[in-house]
Amino acid sequence: MLAVVIYGVSAIYSLLLFRQRFRKDDRIQFFLILTAFLFHTVSMLHRGYELQRCPITNFYEITTFISWTMALVYLSSGLVAQVRFLGAFASPVFFTIGVFALMPSLDKPPLHQQFSDFWSSMHAALIILSYGAFGLGSVSSLMFLIQERDLKLRRIRAFQSLMPPIQRLEAVSGGLVWGGFALLSGGLVLTTILMRRAAMELAPGESMRIWEDHKIIWSGLVWSVCMVLLGFRWRGNLKGRPFAFATVIFFLFILTTYWRTNLLSNLHN
């Protein structure tokens, strides 16, 4: 709760940075997000120790883990001054996700003991970390779109701003999407191992129809779309504004459809 409050203060402070047109390297927001992140980390560690398991087994825990991942990636990249203003765009996202996660209906105990061993926990953690990378990549893409628009309109704030040039923003966005794709691929590879192990525990005559599961189908779709997105980028057919728009829409798709597919999944619900 305290972390959400500090994320909120950071989001309000973002308005001041927008009014100042990012004309000075202000470290206040960076340290606000760092403080919230520390409280966030302590809360997750306490919950994991209390439950004796990786705290990613219901909607509340998954949502807070995604937010924590995005904050971690931001703080790592925010050590570079010209990337630090990413926090002005990211902090409202952290605050919104935090408020959403506080809904009591999200924090329900799982019906079954999930992620109780190393490989199951690693599978879930890698996939959720990939969502965090996609999320921060979409924030960087949003910065790219704003900076590009200011340059096209020849607004003076585009030249007085300390935000990184659009070439660097595009590179950061691409790197985050590539990183998210690698994490997602690793998580899906572990899925095959877990399913094979689960199949060995079935009674004779029983079968697992994993390819009919909504979450498996959805995850395959997300992986395929991301591969196509990066394939076009690698070939040079999707760069600049189109890639930035695609990255933002891609993450919005994940954010708005994840919860429903998880509810419809017999394996994950």
Q: State the pLDDT at residue 198.
A: 61
Cα 22–chain centre separation: 25
Please give the mean pLDDT across all residues of the chain: 78
Say yes or no: 142 and 261 in one domain: yes
Cα separation, 112 vs 134, in Å, equals 29
- What is the tally of structural domains in the chain? 2
Say yes or no: 103 and 87 in one domain: yes
Say yes or no: 174 and 257 in one domain: yes
Say yes or no: 43 and 167 in one domain: no
Per-residue 3-state assignment (H helix, E strand, C coil) for the chain: CHHHHHHHHHHHHHHHHHHCCCCCCCCHHHHHHHHHHHHHHHHHHHHHHHHCCCCCCCHHHHHHHHHHHHHHHHHHHCCCHHHCCHHHHHHHHHHHHHHHHCCHHHCCCCCCCCCCCHHHHHHHHHHHHHHHHHHHHHHHHHHHHHHHHHHHCCCCHHHHCCCCCHHHHHHHHHHHHHHHHHHHHHHHHHHHHHHHHHHHCCCCCCCCCHHHCHHHHHHHHHHHHHHHHHHHHHCCCCCCHHHHHHHHHHHHHHHHHHHHHHHHCCCCC
Q: State the pLDDT at residue 12.
A: 87
Say yes or no: 47 and 163 in one domain: no
Q: State the pLDDT at residue 268.
A: 60
* Domain span including residue 220: 117-269
Last residue of a domain, one of 67, 85, 110: 110
Per-residue pLDDT of the chain (269 residues; tens, 9 = 90+): 788 889 888 888 887 776 665 555 557 888 888 999 999 988 888 887 776 666 766 777 778 888 888 888 888 876 666 667 777 778 888 888 888 877 766 666 655 555 456 677 788 788 888 888 898 889 889 888 887 877 766 655 544 455 667 777 888 889 889 999 999 999 888 887 777 766 555 555 555 566 667 788 888 899 999 999 999 998 888 888 899 999 999 999 998 888 778 777 666 65
Last residue of a domain, one of 91, 110, 129: 110
Q: State the pLDDT at residue 212.
A: 66
Q: State the pLDDT at residue 159.
A: 45
Say yes or no: 174 and 98 in one domain: no
Last residue of a domain, one of 110, 139, 169: 110
Say yes or no: 140 and 256 in one domain: yes
> For 137-193, what is each residue's pLDDT tens digit?
898 898 888 878 777 666 555 444 556 677 778 888 898 899 999 999 998 888 877
* pTM of the model as a whole: 0.76
